[in-house]
Each structure stands twice: as structure tokens, then as C-alpha cells.
Amino acid sequence: MDSLRRDGHTVLKDGLHADGWLEKGELVRKPVELDRLAKRQAEQIQTHWPSADLIVGVSQCGAVLAAFVARHLALPVAFVNLQADQMTFHRMNVPEFPQRVVLVDDLISTGTDARLLVAGMRRAGHTVLGLSVWTVRQTAQLPELPLLTLWPHPYHTWSAAACPHCAAGEAVRWEQVRE
């Protein structure tokens, strides 16, 4: 995980401040390392939700990770898009009947996408068993749902007004970051 760390006064895209962020691209660009984490997620999912029928990931990095996790579980995978606060299935896999799904993602910063994803899955008639991610920021507002993580998030998050880096006059090192 050390290769993902970006230390320093950070302003996240949503306006929150932090003492660093994680660059998931460091893993996504390295399939062998990504597969090692996907296997760990798959093992957790198998232990906690053995009745899962479908692994779901959000388009882009979440979809790539979901495909790796699904391979280890020998389960089908679906990709979804989130746009304008709506969830839609990518045309490659639109489940035709209710499934027991596990949502897979890499990092959760605010929880907004996770909440939209859970609501969309439930509207589509699916049972959401839980959420499997690498890590979650402590300020994330998550849906009422079981959560599995691989490790605790290493950085703290504050509002701009409560940021100790701002209070100390420290310059921002990273701006407009979306984990």
C-alpha cells in the first residue's frame, strides 16, 4: 500500500481537506498486484456472502476490479454507470432476474456513489448483500449495508474550517483529488 500513498495537505474534489490521498492507479496499472488484492476481496466475499450470484462494479476502475474479483469467485460480473445521480447497467450485462449481489470497489471517499449504487440495485429488484472495498475514508456516509475492507484508510479528513493544515498556514500540495 505504500506505493499508493500521496502524503501532504490535500483538497479533495468535494472540498474536504486531508493529510494525503491514495493513488489507486498505482495498482490498477499493475495487473499482478491488482489480482492479488482482488483475490483477497474474493476470499472475504466467499467467507461472508457465499450465496452471492453476481459481482457488480462501477464503470472505470471499479469495473476492472470487479472483473478480477468475479474471476476468483467464478461468478458473473456486471458493470454499472453512474450519471446524473442515476445508476444504469452497462449493456454487456443487464441481469434479467433478481440476483444476490456484492458491490465491489477500490476506495470510498464520500460514499455518494455507494449510496446511489445500492439504491439503484434495490430499485432494480436485486438483493444487495454487502460492499467489498480496499478502504474507506472515516468521513464517508455509507448506506446501511455490511461492509468489508482490506485495511483502514491511512489519512484523516476534515472540513476546510477544521483542517489543521490550513490552521497552521500549510500550503496545499494536492488539489481537486478524487480517490
pTM of the model: 0.90
Q: Domain residues of the chain, as ranges?
A: 2-177
pLDDT, tens digit (0-9, with 9 covering 90-100), for 63-89: 899 999 999 999 999 998 888 878 778
- pLDDT of 82 reads 82
Q: For 29-49, what is the mean pLDDT?
A: 96
Query: Distance between CA atoms of 60 and 134, rounded to whole angstroms?
Result: 16
In CATH, what number does 2-177 get?
3.40.50.2020
- pLDDT of 147 reads 93
pLDDT, tens digit (0-9, with 9 covering 90-100), for 124-150: 899 999 999 999 998 888 888 899 999
Angle, in degrees to the nearest 10, between helices 31-48 and 61-73: 60
- pLDDT of 61 reads 80
